[in-house]
Amino acid sequence: MKYAKKLIIGGMSAMSLGATVHLQADDTIRVGVIGPTTGVFSFFGEQQRMGVELAKEELAERLAELNLEVEFYDSQGDAETTVDRLRAMESRDDIDLVVGPVLGGTGLAGLEWAKSSGMPMVISYSAPEDITMRDRTENVVRAGWTGAQPMFAFGEYVAKELGHKRIVMVGQDYSFPYNQAGGFMKTFCRAGGESVERIWHPTGTSDYSSILATLPDGDAVLYNGAGSDGLAFFQQYHDFGIDARMPLLGGSNFFAVGNLPEMGERAIGGLSALQYAEGLETDTFLAFRDAFMAMHGEEVVPLAPAEHGYVAFKMAVNAFESANGDDRDAVIAALRETEMPDAPRGPFHLDEYGNPVQNIYVNEVQEVDGRLVNVPIETYENVSQFGPFDAEEYLAGDPDSRDFPPSDCSDPYYD
């Protein structure tokens, strides 16, 4: 049986080898970037990584001055792996600040870990609103958005500018679409809308024909979801000719640029809202986009996860500079004071809860130079995660869920 002992000791020392080689205490500042670079959601993690790499190159001199190094970690899009990597960052690799995670679930897992660890963390694309609301913690700020944030603007736009009264909303059955629906309805109903009927389907549904068969009537349909579900919905919506009856609006990620070539010209004119648009024409954005494409290839368009990673990393570097080193409390204090007047997406600053107050763009899919892109046609400035509402009042209310807020705009809730 000695072999077993040898093996166990061998195995354990192999693990410990991995555990000890990295541990160095010195005056180097280390930033750990975590996102899903493998697995189903690798697209988002790759975008973030490319964004951070661009920022790293642009800030090379300042990084050398700070003696700042960057390490990339793969979350595999998995909460458990995320927590494991975060632990490795803290107790193995001597990381001083975390950029990421990227996805909703891993963001919440990261937040949970950060609460007990105290590590400064700049969440990039992950959008659950409670990260900077009901579960907020001092050491975690966000460079991106909440699910409801862009929809506050969109709800108002759809009611006021498009004049739709009754919306049929088909969406993926989980918290991010609930939050998007909540943001939309809270402003839509107060801006003259009459009702929003919600139909939830399981994530990963690929056949929508039966949902379309029983679709109620309305002024427009809003598909509240994204990815392959969204693409399949779009396809079948047109197969059954429902676009002739009701126009199709999108949730924030519905007309994502990766899906546009697959959607084809039928997507032209499609409306959605986000704090980002790859068709922005500002000088800072064009500089960012050109540098990004020069670095990562002409075919790789930077999307929101890339910009958010880029900006999150810049926020981190700014914080280390104003804290004059890696003192945790000073870095956190500096992070919370973040102002980014020249972010590619447009200027923003963090609210007192640690989420950006930023421009929201209502985007229309247009063909520009033979490519389908989201072009902003309307800008709502300084939209916070609470939309037009008072923060304390908002936090006192129920979180958005499958059937909250109410479908009927005449409900007393909206008074």
- Cβ neighbors of 402 (< 8 A, separation 6 or more) are 173, 178, 198, 200
CB-CB neighbours of 60 under 10 Å: 10
Contact residue for other proteins among 67, 137, 205, 322 (CB under 8 A): 205
Q: How far is the CB of 299 from other proteins (least distance, A)?
A: 11
Angle (CA) 345-66-46 rounded to 5° is: 45
SS3 284: helix
Q: Which CB sits closer to other proteins, 339 or 402?
A: 402
Structure tokens at 381: 């400035």
| DSSP-derived secondary structure for 67-119 | TEEEEEEE-TT-HHHHHHHHHHHHHTS---EEE---SHHHHHHHHHHHHHH--
Q: How far is the CB of 407 from other proteins (least distance, A)?
A: 15
Contact between 406 and other proteins by CB under 8 A: the answer reads: no
Taking a C-beta distance cutoff of 8 angstroms, is the pair 278, 301 a contact?
yes
Contact residue for other proteins among 197, 240, 247, 413 (CB under 8 A): 240
Structure tokens at 314: 């810049």
Nearest to 129 by CA among 279, 351, 345: 351
| CA separation for the pair 99, 107 (Å, rounded) | 11
Contact between 370 and other proteins by CB under 8 A: the answer reads: no
Q: Side chain identity at 256, as an amino acid letter?
A: A
Contact between 231 and other proteins by CB under 8 A: the answer reads: yes
Contact residue for other proteins among 29, 33, 79, 362 (CB under 8 A): 79
**Helix 42-58 to helix 304-323 angle, to the nearest 10 degrees?**
40
Q: How far is the CB of 51 from other proteins (least distance, A)?
A: 16
Contact residue for other proteins among 34, 37, 53, 254 (CB under 8 A): 37
Contact residue for other proteins among 175, 224, 272, 355 (CB under 8 A): 175
Q: Count CA atoms within 13 Å of residue 10 on its CB side.
A: 6
Contact residue for other proteins among 29, 109, 271, 311 (CB under 8 A): 109
Of 78-86, 279-287, 369-377, 392-400, the window that binds other proteins (rule: CB under 8 A) is 78-86
Q: How far is the CB of 267 from other proteins (least distance, A)?
A: 12
Helices vs strands, H then E, count in the chain: 14, 14
Q: How far is the CB of 48 from other proteins (least distance, A)?
A: 13
Contact between 229 and other proteins by CB under 8 A: the answer reads: yes
Contact residue for other proteins among 118, 247, 258, 388 (CB under 8 A): 258
Contact residue for other proteins among 137, 228, 284, 366 (CB under 8 A): 228
Q: With contacts defined by CB under 8 A, how many residues of the chain interact with other proteins?
A: 82
Contact between 116 and other proteins by CB under 8 A: the answer reads: yes
User: Binding to other proteins (CB under 8 A): which residues in 372-401?
Assistant: 401
Of 12-20, 183-191, 288-296, 345-353, the window that binds other proteins (rule: CB under 8 A) is 12-20
Mark 320-359 with x for binding to other proteins (rule: CB under 8 A) and - for no binding.
----------------------------------------
Contact residue for other proteins among 48, 76, 149, 253 (CB under 8 A): 76
Contact between 298 and other proteins by CB under 8 A: the answer reads: no
CA dihedral over 6, 7, 10, 16, signed as positive or negative? negative
Mark 145-174 with x for binding to other proteins (rule: CB under 8 A) and - for no binding.
----------------------------xx
Contact residue for other proteins among 57, 65, 91, 286 (CB under 8 A): 91
Of 101-109, 136-144, 268-276, 289-297, the window that binds other proteins (rule: CB under 8 A) is 101-109
CA dihedral 157, 158, 160, 162 (to 10 degrees): 120
Q: Side chain identity at 214, as an amino acid letter?
A: T
CB-CB neighbours of 103 under 10 Å: 26
Q: Strand 121-123 to strand 140-142: parallel, antiparallel, or no bridges (unpaired)? A: parallel
Radius of gyration of the chain (CA): 22
Q: How far is the CB of 76 from other proteins (least distance, A)?
A: 7
Structure tokens at 168: 């049929």
